[in-house]
Structures are given as structure tokens and as C-alpha cells.
Amino acid sequence: MSLPNPVRAIDLSNRFKHSDNHVYKSSSPCVLALDNSYLVVIRCNYVPHFYERTLTQIMELDLNFAIVKQSVLSICEEDIRIFKHGDIIYYMGINKYWDSAHRYAVVAGIWTGFEINNTIPVRVMFDTHYTNEKNWAFFSLKGDLRVVYQWYPLKICRLDFDSNELHLLITRPMPDSFERFCGSSCGVTIENEIWFTVHLQDNRAYKHAFVIFDKDMNLLRYSEPVGLIISRSFSYGLHIKNNRVLLGFSLNDYSTYIHEYTLEGLQTSLKWHTCVE
């Protein structure tokens, strides 16, 4: 079982030498549709040791996926997701240099497109067993901005941007399959459903699944996990509108792709587990 052949494949892979005199290659992208363009935020990895340092590349694409403009943010935040709620674009990223132990922490704020205006880690205001924080996901729930903190059990939270705190609102049991699910994309609302992609990994071999909820975040169905082209493929970019699905992903940590599918083709090609009585 695998994803269908894409209707269109867009290759945004690139490499560049930054002002720090190091070479970087583009990697995982997050995709956000604007009125007449796409905003793509791409993690760029240092060559040859991607875990040592990263940069963030911003691209604006026209509706035919041609690059209109691009720039680079010289920040240490990684894996930045962007999400539009109302008229505001929010960002969420990872800071792994905030303490001497290099533990991962999440930073979040309002996206300006030119700088990250908050690099202070968000404080988790409830008991958790995690020492590294990552893989949170924005979504809209009944008109409010919310965060998925964890998938097993499902933990839905409110992020207070004034106090920089994450507060737990809802905890719900989930199927045992969700115990290995992490991340990945922000939630995409399609009529009365909210779609996410999640991932699971074994020694950096990744598989991804689609998870679908109703408008109240009751689980409707989820797909069997599938690989994306090769085992070392990673995705957290998802956009769905008018029967078009855009999935952004990287291959081998050093390439950037967006594949377009039809929603119908995606649904018929995957094996689904239904959770509604």
C-alpha cells in the first residue's frame, strides 16, 4: 500500500552558501496557501552534518509554483510550521539551544515573514514526561486556535501568547495505534472535518498517516501508515482545498518536494480504520 502517483510533482530542492560561509541544502517544507500565492517555509540543513546547525528559507510561489521571491532567516529555530487562523499567521518552531543540555523546546508567535519575534520557550503548565518538546500542531477548533500536544492520549491545549504558556484543556483516549504517532502537520479544516498528517519512525525510517476528526475533534478515521518514496522521507507540510491535496516533504534530509494529489485519489488508495459507531 502506498500513496497514488502525484498529479504534479514540484522540486524546490536547492543548496546555497550562507553568510556564515557554510553550505546548506534545503529539506522539509511547510506549505500555506495565501490569496494568490503559496508561502513555503523550508528547513535548510548544514552540509554534511545537518544536526549541527540549520537555517530557515522562505519562498513565495505563484499559483503555478514558480518562485516569486525567497529569503533566508539566520535563526536557530528548526522545523517551523506556519498556520493561518482568521487573518493572522502563526508560527511554531523548535529551539534546541535554549539550555546547556541542548534540550528541545518549542517557540511560537505571530509570523511577520522577516524575523522570529519570540525565541523564549513556551512553558508547559501541566505534568508531562517529555524532557524534549517538539511536534506540536496548530489547528482551529470552534473558532479558537488550539494545539495538539500529544496523540496518545490526545491532549488538546490552549497557547497563551501573552504569558507564553501552554495550558491543557482536553484529554481523550485514542486507539493503541496512536501510541507511536508524532507531529506532524497543522490541522486542515475541510467542511466539517479536520485533517492532520502524523509520522512514526524507526531509526530514522519514517512512515506517515492521515488522521481525520470531526469539527469537535472526535476521531472519525485514520489511515494505515505508508512510506513516502523512500524510507528516509519526512513530511509536515499539508494543504487541502477544492479536492487538491499538497503534501510537502524531504528526502534524505537534503531535498524539498511538494506533491499534488486529488483528495479522492488519496482516499481510495489508502487503507482506513473507521472509528465512528
Distance from C-alpha of 2 to C-alpha of 268, rounded to nearest angstrom: 11
* Rounded average pLDDT over 60-71: 94
The predicted structure's pLDDT at residue 25: 92
Q: What integer pLDDT is reported at residue 166 of this predicted model?
A: 98
Taking alpha carbons only, the member of 75, 158, 153, 156 closest to residue 119 is 75
- 52: pLDDT confidence band, cut at 50, 70 and 90? low
- Measure the CA–CA gap between 263 and 256, rounded to whole angstroms: 22
Domains delineated in the chain? 8-274 (2.115.10.20)
Range 139-148 average pLDDT: 98
CA 217 vs. chain centroid, Å, equals 18
Name 1's Cβ contacts closer than 8 Å, sequence gap at least 6. Answer: 224, 226, 269, 270, 271
For the stretch 31-56, what's the b/e string if a residue is b when 16 or more beta carbons lie within 10 angstroms of its beta carbon?
bbbeeebbbbbbbbbbeeebeebbbb
Q: Which residues contact 218 (CB under 8 A, 6 or more apart)?
A: 276
Name, in order, each residue with C-beta under 8 angstroms of 89's C-beta and a sequence gap of 6 or more: 32, 39, 82, 83, 110, 111
Closest to 197 measured CA to CA, from 238, 253, 139: 238
Q: How many H-runs (helices) and E-runs (strands) does the chain carry?
A: 1, 22
Lowest mean pLDDT among 10-14, 117-121, 212-216, 272-276: 117-121
Predicted local confidence at residue 143, as pLDDT: 96
Asked if residue 50 has pLDDT above 70, the reply is no
Q: What per-residue confidence (pLDDT) applies to 113?
A: 76
Residue 92: which of 74, 102, 105, 101 has the closest Cα? 105
Mean of pLDDT values over 128-146:
94
Task: Give mean pLDDT, residues 135-155.
Answer: 97
Antiparallel, parallel or unpaired: β 219-223 and 205-214: antiparallel
What average pLDDT is seen over the chain? 90
The larger pLDDT score, comparing residue 155 to residue 53, is at 155
* Mean pLDDT of the 90-107 span: 81
Query: What pLDDT is recorded for position 100?
Result: 63
Give the whole-number percent of the chain exceeding pLDDT 70.
94
pLDDT band at 122 (very low <50, low <70, confident <90, very high): very high
pLDDT value for 99: 66
Stretch 95-113: mean pLDDT, rounded?
Answer: 80
Cα–Cα distance measured from residue 41 to residue 129, given in angstroms and rounded to the nearest whole number: 30
Confidence check: pLDDT of 277 > 60 = no
pLDDT at 88 (0 to 100): 94
8 A C-beta contact, residue 138 and residue 122: no
**Of 77, 76, 80, nearest to 59 (Cα)?**
80
Binned at pLDDT 50, 70 and 90, residue 17 comes out as: confident
Residue 120, pLDDT above cutoff 90: no
pLDDT for 21:
84
CA dist 220 and 191 (Å) reads 14
Model pLDDT for residues 236-276, shown as the tens digit of each residue: 999 999 899 999 999 888 899 999 999 999 999 999 999 86
Q: Which residue has better confidence, 18 or 152?
A: 152
